[in-house]
């Protein structure tokens, strides 16, 4: 199965820490192999993501401060594809866009913004696919969650994370967390 990475664009440290962290945690929990925080470094987000990976396991690459244009250029130079999640794209439910993405058989870089993205994001030079999770304004975190769930066909929801220190035991009522190591 091709790998999926997320490129978070437009992070504003004074107002986006929590949502960018949630984008990273959603990406990790729902099957992405890593995330790039473009153009800026935010050690608070990095520390939180690294702590979650250490405690809850799995392998999740997190890089920050990477220029978005350079990241996309390098990604595409390796024959991989770029998906831009936007309310203005092809609707994931009413079109065959997801099937076309999967049919490439290539690793995917998913762009999610935190503010209005440059118009060039919509161009074929940047995005191979512009995909909408519905055509209404909504959270980039919810868009990413729906995209990953559809892309991995729900299989990511039963994924076991290796090297975990902690593990949640599903319960009908209450909470149960055990030390996994």
State the pTM of this model: 0.95
Predicted pLDDT of residue 22: 96
- Give the pLDDT score at 154: 96
Positions in the chain whose pLDDT score sits under 50: none
Residue 116 confidence (pLDDT): 86
pLDDT of residue 180: 83
Q: Three-state SS for 32?
A: coil
Report d(CA 72, CA 53) in Å as an integer. 25
CATH code given to domain 4-179: 3.40.1280.10
Every domain of the chain and the residues it spans:
4-179
42: its two tokens = 């935010």
**Is the C-alpha dihedral spanning 51, 33, 172, 177 positive or negative?**
negative
Q: Are 9 and 38 in contact (CB under 8 A)?
A: yes
The β-bridge partners of 84 are 111, 130
pLDDT score of 87:
94
């Amino acid at each position: 199965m091709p790998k999926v990475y997320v490129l978070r664009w437009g992070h504003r440290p004074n107002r986006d820490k929590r949502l960018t962290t949630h984008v990273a945690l959603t990406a990790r929990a729902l099957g992405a192999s890593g995330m790039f925080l473009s153009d800026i470094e935010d050690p608070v987000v990095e520390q939180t993501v690294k702590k979650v990976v250490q405690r809850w396991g799995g392998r999740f690459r997190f890089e920050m401060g990477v220029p978005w244009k350079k990241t996309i250029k390098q990604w595409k130079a390796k024959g991989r594809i770029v998906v831009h999640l936007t309310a203005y794209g092809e609707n994931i439910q009413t079109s065959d866009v997801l099937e076309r993405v999967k049919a490439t058989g290539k690793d995917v870089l998913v762009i999610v913004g935190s503010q209005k993205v440059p118009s060039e994001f919509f161009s074929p030079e940047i995005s191979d696919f512009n995909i909408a999770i519905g055509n209404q304004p909504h959270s980039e975190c919810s868009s990413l969650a729906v995209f990953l769930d559809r892309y991995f066909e729900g299989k990511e929801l039963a994924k076991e994370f290796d090297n975990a220190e902690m593990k949640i035991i599903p319960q009908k009522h209450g909470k149960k967390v055990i030390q996994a190591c």
